[in-house]
A and B are shown apart, each in its own frame.
Chain A
């Protein structure tokens, strides 16, 4: 087995969902066996760039992982380019870039480490935290409504949309591999307990609610599945073959000649 882990000391709290994501990602990358690059933003999640031996990994600025990854992919199309960032990074400060990637359908893999808090700055409400929820480090309940990453990805134009759970490493690995095999913008919303700051969405909380969908939902059932709240469906929601950004650019360049 090809060893992908670096010898860097892993700086996450005991029990953090990031360990599961790191494990699954490593296993998926070994199976896929392609040269890859991981791009992280700022946050606990983004430290993952130090722990796997990519061709080159980049620790970018807060919220900017997607555009930096886009630059890497456009100049090195042969690479498998992965974006790893938290919900705060990708759906908060970097939300505009998240939408733009969907519109482009550039061949990037966005793995959202979704724990609904800003862990690195000690437990403020993240963009996926439900309205009126008060976690232990917050002085009062959340006044913002939660973003639904699956719906947002769909309306933005992502052509592969899935949800997974950080502690289910085997299933997460398979979903990551499907995302990596897909041609186009893929997003996997990875539900992840934050053992230090999210005292609501704990392992028990998630495991009482999550279930795996039998198959990719039928178009007629898609919105119902995306909006489900009481129980949380996991698996692939949506998959579509569509012209990628790379193909569109090629066409644009040849526009005059045709």
Chain B
């Protein structure tokens, strides 16, 4: 059933269809309306066997979910920016506890200066947490991703938190026609969550115990093994989803015009305008293609090598900074393509909601194609200014 809805609703409706047992959150722009929609469904009696709790902070919200998930509940939260990094202590912990918490992050810049607008700095903080991280391009993709997230996170070979990253405002507030899933479709795809290990008096276990040096490392190795296994399980679930829903979003990467001389790499909502730009530039005669990173953690090294290993020039559009180095996505891609003779043009764009128009994106690609740029990294799209603290 196609319906014109906002990004918030596309998320909330899909979460409802996944039959969660506990939803807990704290308001933060531009996430709030996701959980407001869920609270409304709760009040309307549409969320069966589910409890909805407004916590006292994101720290509280994530902690409540750790408890609920440990007790065997399917759980959900949404947050972003300061809220996500306030949750970070608990989310690192949840990954170590191997709890399949699913959360949606509505990507937003970090303070200071205070900004509520979209970029990718917030989720980068959680990059190394042991949390599966998938990025979506539009609201249909996030709607579709939620049942897949539960299926992957709850797979007994995985059992890790799963974070879906969608761009704040650009997607959350946007109205789009969404093909809303049917309950039967989700029920047939996603079985109820029945963990083997959870807090129960029938088979008592303890969680989060102290692991001194002779024990700690093995737990972390096990987490990494789970992440690497997740790569294959995700591939399988993505394929299965394409069959179930009739919508094929690709696997870890989605590629337009493979094996082009110039490949543009990006993630998130910027991919949508880029797709049009790339198509237009090809009609100008430029040999350019596009790689959308869907799975950012586990990082799909093999897929990256296959799709980008033989290109001549790679343009990476990062929307965050690893201060003192360069864009994090660019760093990861360079590591994955170590030893290949490929030139990197790594640009950091669109911080704190700075506009990245089609013309702006086209000019970046044209300049690289016409050899007007040297390989390396740079910020693009900022005004010249004088630093107050030189």
Contacts and interface: CB of A to CB of B under 8 A. Distances in A.
Interface of A: 42, 59, 61-63, 92-93, 95, 118, 120-122, 124-125, 127, 139-140, 144
B273 to A, nearest CB: 29
A122 B32 contact: yes
A139 B40 contact: yes
A61 B111 contact: yes
Contacts of A125: 54
B42 A139 contact: yes
B80 to A, nearest CB: 12
B57 interface: yes
12 contacts: A59-B114, A92-B56, A92-B57, A93-B57, A95-B56, A118-B27, A122-B27, A122-B36, A124-B54, A125-B54, A139-B42, A144-B54
Interface string B50-92: 0000101101000000000000000000000010000000000
B8 interface: no
A62 B43 contact: no
B27 A62 contact: no
A121 B42 contact: no
Given A139-B42, A140-B43, A63 B28 contact: no
B26 to A, nearest CB: 7
B93 interface: no
Contact of A61 (B40, B43, B56, B82): B82
Contacts of A121: 27-29, 32
Q: Which of A93, A125, A140, A144 has the most CB of B within 10 A?
A: A93
Given A63-B57, A93-B26, A121-B28, A139 B82 contact: no
B56 A139 contact: no
- In the A-B complex, list the 7 residue pairs whose CB atoms are closest, starting with the nearest: A121-B27, A139-B43, A93-B57, A140-B43, A139-B40, A121-B32, A139-B39
Interface string B262-303: 000000000000000000000000000000000000000000
Nearest to B60: A93
A144 B43 CA distance: 15
Task: Identify the interface centre among B36, B40, B44, B56: most chain A CB within 10 Å of its CB.
Answer: B56
A246 to B, nearest CB: 28
A247 to B, nearest CB: 32
Contacts of A95: 56
A137 to B, nearest CB: 8
Determine the interface band of chain B, counting residues with CB < 8 A from chain A.
10 to 19
Given A63-B57, A122-B32, A139-B44, 18 more contacts: A42-B82, A59-B114, A61-B82, A92-B56, A92-B57, A93-B26, A93-B56, A121-B28, A121-B32, A124-B27, A124-B32, A124-B54, A125-B54, A139-B36, A139-B39, A139-B43, A140-B42, A144-B54
Contacts of B114: 42, 59
Contacts of B28: 121
A61 B84 CA distance: 13
A201 B382 CA distance: 46
A47 to B, nearest CB: 10
Nearest to A137: B36
Nearest to A134: B43
Nearest to A91: B56
B377 to A, nearest CB: 30
Contacts of A61: 82, 111
A62 B39 CA distance: 23
A242 to B, nearest CB: 29
Contacts of B111: 61
Nearest to B44: A139
A138 B219 CA distance: 43
Contacts of A42: 82, 114
A139 B82 CA distance: 26
Nearest to A120: B29
Interface in B6-26: 26
Nearest to A93: B57
A151 B44 CA distance: 36
Nearest to B59: A93
A124 to B, nearest CB: 5
B35 to A, nearest CB: 9
Interface string B118-156: 000000000000000000000000000000000000000
Contacts of A140: 39, 42-43
A118 B25 CA distance: 14
B57 to A, nearest CB: 4
B13 to A, nearest CB: 15
Contacts of B27: 118, 121-122, 124
A124 B43 CA distance: 14
A121 B181 CA distance: 29
A42 B26 CA distance: 14
Nearest to A121: B27
Interface in B295-325: none
A61 B59 CA distance: 14
A97 B63 CA distance: 19
Contact of B82 (A62, A120, A127, A144): A62
A93 B82 CA distance: 12
A6 B172 CA distance: 35
Contacts of A118: 27
Interface string B183-220: 00000000000000000000000000000000000000
A220 B326 CA distance: 65
A96 to B, nearest CB: 9
Contacts of A144: 54
Contacts of A93: 26, 56-57, 59
A192 B139 CA distance: 39
A205 B33 CA distance: 29
Contacts of B26: 93
Contacts of B29: 120-121
A95 B59 CA distance: 13
Contacts of B39: 139-140
